[in-house]
Amino acid sequence: MRIATSTLSQFVLNGSQNSQQQLAQLEQDVSTGNDVTQASDNPLAYDEASQTQATVAQLNGYSNAISSATTATTANNSAMTEIYKLVSQASENATSVSSTMSTSQIKAVGTQASSLLSQLTSIVNQQDSNGNYLFGGTNNQPPIDTSTGTYNTSANGATTSTEVSPGNSVQTSIAAGHPGTPPADGFLYDSSTGVDVLAALKQTVTDLNNGDASAVQNDLPALTNALNLISSYVGSTSANMSAVSTASTANQSQITSEDNHLNTLTQTNLPNATVQLQQIQNQYEATLEAGSRILGLSILNYLGSTTTG
Amino acid sequence: MAVTNIGLNASLWMGSQALSANQTAIQTTGNNIANINTPGYARQRANFATDVQTGANGELDMGTQVTSIENLTSSLLNTLVQQSLGAKGYADNQATMTSTVQEALGEQFSTSSSSSTSGTTQAGEGSIQGALTTFFTDFQNLANDPTSSSARQVVAQDAQTLASNLNTAYQRLQTTQAQLATDAGNITSQVNQLSQQIASLNQQIVAVQASGGNTNDLSDSQEEDVEQLSSLVNVTATNESNGSVKVTLADNPSVVLVSGNDSNGQGTTQSLSVTYSATGNPPLTVSGSTTGSLGAGVPSSGSLGSDLDVANNVIGSPAANGNSGLLGQLDSVAAALISAVNTQNKAGYDLNGNAGGNFFTGTGAGDIAVSSTITSNPSTIAAASTSGDTLDGSNALAISQIETNNSDIIPAFQSMVSNLGETVSTAAGNQTSQDQITEQVQNQRDSVSGVSIDEEMTNLINFQQSYAASARFLTTISSLYDTLLNMAPPTG
């Protein structure tokens, strides 16, 4: 093919433009660390990265949920353990009473039991940093009316759950419950068995304060039932803690995995990019070198020497 | 074979003709060299032919003469270049404009610098997807702490950010569409100007050819103008027998832009204009001064065709006015968000036990906003499923689950962005390949019409030497004359 002079310069220009475009892209990839920043960079990778990023955001949301679930289930378990100890102590106190004890001795035990009842009320009515009652149901009521020492029947028995992973919720609140109308089940009252922890404790305290040893002995089965009810809550809250912990581990592992996947999709492979940068740099230099040699060549360069020669 | 003696006078004539012919060739070579960088210039060649005179004694070879100055062009290659330039104009503009649209949408990844080794990829600032995921995560957080005033405040603020990002993207797309309309207007102005230039050249060419003159340079200018026109709008140029060119739209040959064949023998033109209406369907249309609206998608190529495509198909129309392209899709995403969140918010109860109301106002991406009730009092966000259950966050959780349950929001948006990325990437690929095709076709044409300095310099030396030889020939004939004259006896 016949070559026009402009064709040669066009080849050089196109070659250098091509190299410069590749160099600019590689330079950007290396300096920003990302080779996919917008969809057009790699539509397929961007689409996958975009979905992965949404997944990461959801997982981070679950991290927050897990964090608050951990706090809640730990507080629940701690409260149940404390209440179990209190009721257990009260039961031991009641068991210690015998017919050989004097009335004053029994009343002294009653004083201790009264203190335990007071501590139980304090734990059951505890509030979080926002002033919400931890065990007063979802309508946020104090479970025990401190002025009367009786159940606050306006508190409901509803509990809340936290979704700690897609489709997996863990119960993060427990209710105290009450035998009102309608009754509300909880760790202080269970309608199916009729176990009433507060009533059992109060009856025991009353009987102790009356110095009535035989009545106290009669209170023991109710206290045992109360212990069993609370024990079941110690177990369930512990299981909830464990479920949250498991979810936390799985969530963290998945975040790490998705993050790595996302970075693989979008971030520059520096070794590859560096090698490519060197290759394109060589290609650019070769284009310039060839151009500088060819573009300077013309018959004009030789006409003068022939004439003078 | 008998040799015819032509005599010294005829020899002098022959030498003179040779000098003249070589001088013309040198001038032609000089013209080629001078125009080596002139766009559209096709090299010229002085065509030599033996000057044969016929007389009573038969043919007499009277040396040489330049019979014509020929433009070395190929009409086939010229047509291919025109078509290729139309496609190149479309591809170039498409690559630039679709990229601009992508920028306008503003969906980018960035890398956080929180890690010492490598950062984490995250949604860039202003990202709609980032704002969407944040919005739903906020509801998830609210579900876990429904009485928290700060959690409610965060939901309200991030919802405003989301609405603002949608509004901004929508406005930027409409602004880009208006800019495309302005660009299309500028292109039609150039088209009209080029049409007038071609019509004017038509008149000149017809006039010069009628008087037997050389129209090579005028034809080069005409070809250059047609090529420029082709890159703006896909046209068909037809060479008429009188040297003029008729230019019609390739999509619709009945739309004649330039014709040199009117009854007065003059070139006439039809001007193009654009009409833009943000609420129109399609928003951008092209009309001819005599043919009226050219219809949807016409022209289909050249820069103008690309402007039409990007404005009408890539950016498209809002849901209320055609519901196409990015504007339609963005409206659909916003409408789905508004509907889903409002429905779920109204199904729940706020912190005061009241039934929830609309969370968002508006109908699409252009006017979506957070309800003033929510922004002024975030406690009205309906986080609970039961009235009075202030610690119940199940309705907030249900709102957060819209993120994964509703395919018309985030998945639809992701699909929209990916499809746009594919469009931009394809446009960039087309630009590269069309550049190569155009380069190849232009190189082929340059192999016929392009000027080569080496070739011209070689020719120049040939002609220079021929000129010198012819001059020597004249000197010799002159000396023969002197010899003859000296042989004659002195007078007086």
Q: How much is the pLDDT for B269?
A: 77
A170 and A97 in a common domain: yes
A295 touches chain B (CB under 8 A): no
Q: Are the Cβ atoms of B137 and A57 closer than 8 angstroms?
A: yes
- The tens digit of pLDDT for each residue in B70-86 reads 999 998 999 999 999 99
Helices B149-210 and B302-309, interaxial angle, to 10°?
A: 160
Q: Which domain holds residue A85?
A: 52-263
Q: Report the distance separating Cα B159 and Cα B136, nearest Å.
A: 9
Mean pLDDT on B20-25: 96
CB-CB under 8 Å, B417 with A60 = no
Contact A300 B457 (CB under 8 A): yes
Taking all residues of chain B, what is their mean pLDDT, rounded to a whole number?
Answer: 91
Instruction: Tell me the per-residue pLDDT of A176-222, one tens digit each, with 9 for 90 and over.
Output: 999 999 999 999 999 999 999 999 999 999 999 999 999 999 999 99
Mean pLDDT of B121-140: 88
**Amino acid present at B67:** T
What pLDDT shows up at residue B322? Answer: 84
Please classify residue B57 by burial: count the beta carbons closer than 10 Å to its beta carbon, then call 0-12 exposed, 13-18 middle and 19+ buried. Answer: exposed
Domain-located, residue A42: no
Confidence band (pLDDT; 50, 70, 90) for B9? confident
CA dist B89 and B85 (Å) reads 6
Residue-level pLDDT at B396: 97
Q: Which residue of B has its CA nearest to A268?
A: B118
Pairwise CB contact (< 8 Å): B108 & A137 = no
Q: What amino acid is encoded at B240 in this protein?
A: E
What is the secondary structure of A214-277 as a DSSP string? HHHHHHHHHHHHHHHHHHHHHHHHHHHHHHHHHHHHHHHHHHHHHHHHHHHHHB--HHHHHHHH
- Using pLDDT thresholds of 50, 70 and 90, give the confidence band for residue B241: confident
Interchain contact A39–B (C-beta under 8 A): yes
Q: Lowest mean pLDDT: which of A168-177, A269-278, B49-58, B279-288?
A: B49-58
Q: Please report, for the domain that includes residue A220, its CATH number.
A: 1.20.1330.10
Count Cβ atoms within 10 A of the Cβ of residue B365 and give its class: 0-12 exposed, 13-18 middle, 19 or more buried. Answer: buried
Predicted pLDDT of residue A280: 95
- The answer to whether B379 and B152 are in contact (CB under 8 A) is yes
- Using an 8 Å CB-CB cutoff, list chain B residues near A162: 143-144
Element (H, E) at A306: helix A300-308
Same structural domain for residues A118 and A174? yes
CB atoms inside a 10 Å sphere around CB B32 = 23
HEC readout, A63-77: HHHHHHHHHHHHHHH
Are A47 and B121 inside 8 Å of each other by CB?
Answer: no
- Which chain B residues touch A6 with a CB distance below 8 Å? 36-37, 446, 450-451
In this structure, the answer to whether residues A155 and A279 fall within a common structural domain is no
Residue B57 clears pLDDT 80, i.e. is over it = no
3-state secondary structure B48-104: EEEEEEEECCEEEEEEEEEEEEEECCCHHHHHHHHHHHHHHHHHHHHHHHHHHHHHH
Are both A15 and A143 inside the same structural domain?
A: no
Same domain, A214 and A296: no
pLDDT mean over B155-183: 96
Region of poorest pLDDT, from A10-19, A280-289, B123-132, B305-314: B123-132
B233-270 burial: b if 16+ Cβ within 10 Å, else e: bbbbbebeeebbbbbbbbbeeebbbbbbbeeeebbbbb
Determine if the peptide bond prior to B282 is cis (ω within 30°).
yes
Residue B4 touches partner A, C-beta closer than 8 Å: no
Summarize the confidence of residues B331-344 as an average pLDDT: 97
Residues within 8 A of A (CB atoms), B 395-424 only: 397, 400, 403-404, 410, 414-415, 417-418, 420-424
Looking at residue A234, what is its pLDDT? 97
Q: Is A173 on the interface with B (CB under 8 A)?
A: yes
Closest CA in chain A for residue B436: A14
Query: Which residues of B fall within a CB distance of 8 Å from A40?
Result: 98-99, 102, 420-425, 428
Mean pLDDT of B37-55: 89
Instruction: Check whether residue A127 and residue A72 sit in a common domain.
Output: yes
Three state DSSP letters for A191-219: CCCCEEHHHHHHHHHHHHHHCCHHHHHHH
Least confident of A3-17, B131-145, B365-379: A3-17
Q: Does A14 touch chain B (CB under 8 A)?
A: yes
What does the pLDDT look like over A127-175, one tens digit per residue? Answer: 998 899 999 999 999 999 999 999 999 999 999 999 999 999 999 999 9
A50 chain-B contacts, CB cut-off 8 A: 129, 414, 417-418
pLDDT, residue B403, reads 95
Flag whether A45 is in a domain: no
The residue among B270, B271, B228, B266 whose CA lies nearest residue B244 is: B266
Q: Quick one: DSSP state of residue A29?
A: H
Percentage of chain B exceeding pLDDT 70: 95
Are residues A204 and A292 located together in one domain of the fold? Answer: no
pLDDT in tens, A58-110: 999 999 999 999 999 999 999 999 999 999 999 999 999 988 899 999 999 99
Residue A38 has its nearest CB partner, among B386, B421, B453, at B421
- The pLDDT score that the predictor gives to residue B260 is 77
Please indicate, yes or no, whether residues A142 and A243 belong to a single structural domain of this protein.
yes
Q: Which residues of A touch B417 (CB under 8 A)?
A: 39, 46-47, 50
A2: three-class secondary structure by DSSP: coil
Query: How does residue B116 score in pLDDT terms, banded at 50, 70 and 90?
Result: very low
Q: Please report the pLDDT score of residue B240 as a whole number.
A: 87
Looking at residue B118, what is its pLDDT?
53
Burial of B471 (0-12, 13-18, 19+ CB in 10 A): middle
Whole-angstrom distance, CA of residue A130 vs CA of residue B277: 54
| Token reading at B188 | 């039609």
Same domain, residue pair A122 and A253:
yes
Burial A26-55 (b: 16+ CB within 10 A, else e): beebbeebbbbbbbbbbbebbbbbbbbbbb
Whether chain A has a CB inside 8 Å of the CB on B253: the answer is no
- Is A303 in Cβ contact with B461 (below 8 Å)? yes
The nearest alpha carbon in chain A to B390 belongs to: A139
Instruction: Tell me the per-residue pLDDT of A26-67, one tens digit each, with 9 for 90 and over.
Output: 998 888 888 898 999 999 999 999 999 999 999 999 999 999
As a whole number of angstroms, the distance between CA A140 and CA A158 comes to 10
Closest by CA to B465, choosing from B476, B473, B453, is B473
- Is A71 touching B (CB cutoff 8 A)? no
Rounded to whole angstroms, the Cα distance separating B438 from B81 reads 7
**CA A24 → CA A16, A21, A278, A291, B96, distances in Å?**
12, 5, 13, 20, 17
pLDDT of residue B376: 97
Q: What is the mean pLDDT of residues B258-284?
A: 81
CA gap A68, A164 in Å, rounded: 10
The reply to whether A46 falls in a domain is: no
Nearest CA among A46, A265, A26 for reference residue B421: A46
- Nearest CA to B230 out of B202, B254, B258, B203 is that of B258
Inter-residue contact B296 to B282 (CB < 8 Å)? yes
Per-residue pLDDT, A305: 59
H-helix or E-strand spanning residue B284: strand B284-288
CA distance B455 to chain A (A): 9
Given a cut of 80, is residue A308 above it in pLDDT?
Answer: no
Q: Is the pLDDT of residue B491 over 80?
A: no
Number of structural domains chain A divides into: 2
The answer, yes or no, to whether residue B5 has pLDDT greater than 90, is: no
Per-residue CA distances from B325 to A131, B214, B314, B339 (Å): 51, 53, 5, 21
3-state secondary structure of A148: coil
Would you give the end-to-end CA distance of chain A in angstroms?
33
Token pair 């110095």 is found at A211
> Are A219 and A199 within 8 A, CB to CB?
no
Stretch B370-398: mean pLDDT: 96
Q: What is the pLDDT of residues A217-269, one digit of tens each?
A: 999 999 999 999 999 999 999 999 999 999 999 999 999 999 999 999 998 88
What is the Cα B226 distance to its own chain's centre? 15
Here the tokens at position B25 are 């060739």
The answer to whether the beta carbons of residues B112 and B325 sit under 8 Å apart is no
Task: Specify the amino acid at residue A68.
Answer: S
DSSP states along B197-226: HHHHHHHHHHHHHHTT---HHHHHHHHHHH
E-strand ranges in A34-176 read 144-145, 150-151, 161-165, 168-171
Nearest partner of B399 among B409, B390, B411, B391, judged by Cα: B409
Does residue B152 register a pLDDT over 90? yes
Report yes or no: B224 and B232 within 8 Å, Cβ to Cβ.
no
Question: What is the residue extent of each domain of chain B?
Answer: 8-72+453-486, 115-172+324-416
Does A47 contact B36 at a Cβ distance shorter than 8 Å?
no
- Judge if A213 and A291 occupy the same domain: no
Compare CB distances from B451 to A5, A37, A172 and report the shortest one's residue: A5
Shared-domain flag, residues A89 and A217:
yes
Q: Is residue A287 domain-shared with residue A240, that is, in the same domain?
A: no
Tell me which long-range contacts B429-437 makes (C-beta under 8 A, separation of at least 24).
B430/B91, B430/B94, B430/B95, B431/B91, B431/B92, B431/B94, B431/B95, B433/B91, B434/B84, B434/B87, B434/B88, B434/B90, B434/B91, B434/B92, B435/B88, B435/B91, B437/B84, B437/B87, B437/B88
